[in-house]
Amino acid sequence: MTNFEDIEQLALKIRKYAVNMTSTGGSSHVGSILSIADLLAVLYGSVMNYKANEPNWHGRDRFILSKGHAGAGVYAALAESGFFSVDKLKTHCKDGSDLSGHVSHKGIPGVEFSTGSLGHGLPVATGMALAAKINKDKHLVYVLMSDGECDEGSNWEAALFASHHKLDNLVIIIDRNKLQSIQSTEETLGLEPFVDKWQAFSWNVIDIDGHDLAQLIKACDSKVDGKPLCIIANTIKGKGVSFMENQVLWHYRSPQGEELEAAMKELDNA
């Protein structure tokens, strides 16, 4: 049985870490991390198979954060899941730290792949899924992408390949918060009709509320033989801190002073 309370607690912890880490690290992208806290909590708290004490266990499900700028969320999820000490999180973005603002695998148990430049995660994950098919391995490969990064053509190259080769062991979750770097996705480079696009690429597409844990878990379990799975998780950028929600400002701004206090107070009372 899925313990929703535990997943909710994990998501809340990721949110608190996100605010604190981007504050002490003076770093950007808190809104992008809050957007995916529930997705990360579902993956690490319920959906994925892994052994925290054996990060390279061959039977593990693979996970790539393609929107590498939300790396602090993955670091927090990994630390909370036992891959390394939560104390290490305090070094995020500090001089000499290996916890970079964009997710890096070097020295960090549990990080499968380093990203930061957008449009890299899906092609690499597609290669991992292809390898699993060749090797007849049963594990799955998950990629968490942003909607804005679907501007990158490399994703669509990989999308063609994955469906052509029937990689039904590949699952992408798109953080559809509809905000990118400067404006909304639709003002920048329209993605709609987004579901239709992925369906036209012959993917199995599921469109859900990305903050509804039950819907997320069900979507991850909705695989169709012979088709890669695309979960479009409709989310709110900055979710959980009211003044950050749907504000593109918080793609960049580091929470400090009264804003930090207000954000933490809101999360403490959640």
Residues that bind another protein (CB under 8 A): 105, 112-117, 119-120, 122-132, 134-135, 153-154, 157-158, 160-161, 165
Alpha-carbon distances of 46 from 7, 26, 56, 231, rounded to whole Å:
7, 31, 19, 16
Residue 50: CB minimum distance to another protein, A: 16
Residue 89: CB minimum distance to another protein, A: 23
Residue 143: CB minimum distance to another protein, A: 10
Residue 33 or 122: which CB sits closer to another protein? 122
Residue 105 or 218: which CB sits closer to another protein? 105
Residue 126: CB minimum distance to another protein, A: 6
Paired strand residues for 230: 172, 205
Residue 64 or 217: which CB sits closer to another protein? 64
Paired strand residues for 83: none
Residue 165 or 253: which CB sits closer to another protein? 165
Q: What distance in Å separates the CA atoms of residue 152 and residue 120, rounded to the nearest whole number?
A: 9
Which of 78, 69, 61 has the alpha carbon at shortest distance from 125?
61
Residue 58 or 87: which CB sits closer to another protein? 58
Residue 154 or 184: which CB sits closer to another protein? 154
Residue 139: CB minimum distance to another protein, A: 10
Residue 68 or 255: which CB sits closer to another protein? 68
Residue 254: CB minimum distance to another protein, A: 25
Q: What distance in Å separates the CA atoms of residue 66 and residue 172, rounded to the nearest whole number?
A: 10
Q: What distance in Å separates the CA atoms of residue 178 and residue 190, rounded to the nearest whole number?
A: 10
Residue 111: CB minimum distance to another protein, A: 11
